[in-house]
Amino acid sequence: MQEISIEVESLYKDHLAQIQRRYEKALESCQSSGVLIPSGSLKYAFLDDHSYPFKVNPHFKTWLPVEDNDESFILMRPGEKPLLLFNQPEDYWHQPASDPDDFWVEEWEIQSIRSLIDASNRIGDPRSLVFVGEETDLAREWGIGQINPQTFLSEVHYGRANKTDYELACLQIANNIAVQGHRAAEEAFRLGCSEFEIQHRYLAAIAHREKESPYSAIVGLNEHCAILHYQHYDRQAPTTTYSLLIDAGANKNGYAADITRTYATGNGLFRDLINAMNKQQLAIIDEIQPGLNYADLHEKMHLRLAGVLRDFQIVDMEEADMVESNLTFTFLPHGLGHLLGLQTHDVAGLQQSPRGDEKAAPEKYPALRLTRTIENRQVFTIEPGLYFIPMLLNKLRQSAHASQVNWQLIEELVPCGGIRIEDNIAMLEGRPINLTRNAFDG
């Protein structure tokens, strides 16, 4: 187990300097003198005066851990201390933000604003600025020079894959928090709780409101484990519980953990399969090294999966043939993983350079979100699965390979749904550091 420093406060200054350099470099291509980044605006439900949960602009939270203050702005001009226009409206319906006094404030010039007009009066010549945010109408109204220019975004997004020490610390802490939840969820599963109860015990253990989680947790019992992004929480536990798949994260300063575990109630075939997939997941992580393309790693995982299918006599076919004929896709129809950071599925997974050129996912594996070459300081997930998805199994049953499949065994496994084991990996000094196992073992 290699430890990652979790001293976020002492690492922040250096992080900010690196982020500033990244954005300054991106500005060079735009011939602009600064960048204006809004935190975002509240969005309202149709014909309603209630807003959806606020989700901060990821470009804003790259700079500082403020995630809950809409209509604030960052103004960065090269060579200057960054300016935060911090929204503190006069409002007796809501509680305005109090003056920030966290570890990051001394690196910033902070000005309080009461309104958007207030903000527009403090940005100087708008024509000289690049705007990076969703409020494009506002940017046009203010006369901002360039709005979300692609060259700028490509440069910044590409760099975001390589994490600063501060970001690695946040990601390790997010994993540490999420693992508390995973422990509570396993306990709830063993007690026979419903999906709804498991989800609430998870949230209580990580002390997050649902909207603070980086994504809605997937909590599936039995055949629901086979629904890749299962979105409900049944309030009633099944009469008999066989399995739990929980894909649930946590948030630290805007950085996401994204962890999946699968559990079985009884000893038997499904538990043995979980153990086999766990072994293969750890083995594929051991193969990770800089210079390897992630798409090749994905293909290697399919070969490993084919080995499991063969060892358990689920499919009677040479492993290479199973991969070649794409039979393994039936059992693993999603990608091996994705970049992780400010967003759960972080940007630029297909991008091959700061200029924005992309390498598409292989035709055979269209769901793969990551085709970059593995480099130091990248953080990504490794999340192989083995699912029994009735829709895909029906197709296999009608294919030329149907006779090589042990359908009796499959019928036995369908009620257990499927398996996913997902860890978060940081590449450091040429080696994969498993942030998730660090947390489980810590």
Binding site for ligand GLY (CB under 6 A): 215, 247, 258, 344, 383, 422
Output 181 or 354, the one with its CB closest to ligand GLY: 181
Considering only 381, 424, 434, 438, the residue that binds Mn ion (CB under 5 A) is 381
Q: CB 238 → Mn ion: shortest distance, Å?
A: 23
Backbone CA torsion sign across 36, 42, 43, 47: negative
Question: Minimal CA–CA distance to 419: which of 247, 290, 207?
Answer: 247
Output 167 or 383, the one with its CB closest to Mn ion: 383
Q: CB 258 → Mn ion: shortest distance, Å?
A: 4
Angle between helices 294-311 and 269-286 (to 10 degrees): 150
Output 155 or 258, the one with its CB closest to ligand GLY: 258
Return left, alpha or beta for 31; rule: phi > 0 is left, psi -120 to 50 is alpha, else beta.
left
Are 340 and 347 in contact, with CB atoms under 8 Å apart? no
Output 215 or 312, the one with its CB closest to ligand GLY: 215
Output 371 or 381, the one with its CB closest to Mn ion: 381
Question: Which stretch in 148-156, 186-194, 286-294, 422-430 sits in contact with Mn ion by CB under 5 A?
Answer: 422-430
Residue 71 binding: pick among ligand GLY, Mn ion, none (C-beta 5-8 Å cut-off by kind): none
Residue 319 binding: pick among ligand GLY, Mn ion, none (C-beta 5-8 Å cut-off by kind): none
The angle at the Cα of 41, spanning 157 to 115, to the nearest 5 degrees, equals 120
Q: CB 313 → ligand GLY: shortest distance, Å?
A: 29
Count of beta carbons in the 10 Å neighbourhood of residue 320: 10
Q: What are 424's strand-pairing partners? A: 381
Output 167 or 247, the one with its CB closest to ligand GLY: 247
Give the residue at shortest CB distance from ligand GLY.
247
Output 223 or 423, the one with its CB closest to ligand GLY: 423
Instruction: Give how far Cα 220 sits from Cα of 231, 382, 415, Å.
Output: 9, 20, 12
Say whether residue 247 binds Mn ion (CB under 5 A): yes
Backbone CA torsion sign across 365, 369, 373, 378: negative
Q: CB 338 → Mn ion: shortest distance, Å?
A: 6
Name the amino acid, one letter, at 327. L
Residue 32 binding: pick among ligand GLY, Mn ion, none (C-beta 5-8 Å cut-off by kind): none
Q: CB 247 → ligand GLY: shortest distance, Å?
A: 5
Residue 215 binding: pick among ligand GLY, Mn ion, none (C-beta 5-8 Å cut-off by kind): ligand GLY
Q: Nearest 5°: phi and psi at 438?
A: -55, -45
Say whether residue 423 binds Mn ion (CB under 5 A): no
302 vs 282: CA distance, rounded Å: 14
Q: CB 380 → ligand GLY: shortest distance, Å?
A: 11
29 vs 166: CA distance, rounded Å: 27
381 vs 384: CA distance, rounded Å: 9
Considering only 71, 165, 258, 423, the residue that binds Mn ion (CB under 5 A) is 258
Q: CB 214 → ligand GLY: shortest distance, Å?
A: 8
C-alpha radius of gyration, the chain, whole number: 24
Question: Minimal CA–CA distance to 40: which of 26, 58, 27, 65?
Answer: 58
305 vs 288: CA distance, rounded Å: 17
Question: Which stretch in 30-38, 116-124, 144-152, 415-423 sits in contact with Mn ion by CB under 5 A?
Answer: 415-423
Q: What are 35's strand-pairing partners? A: 76, 130
Q: CB 367 → ligand GLY: shortest distance, Å?
A: 10
Residues of this chain that interact with Mn ion (CB under 5 A) are 247, 258, 260, 381, 422
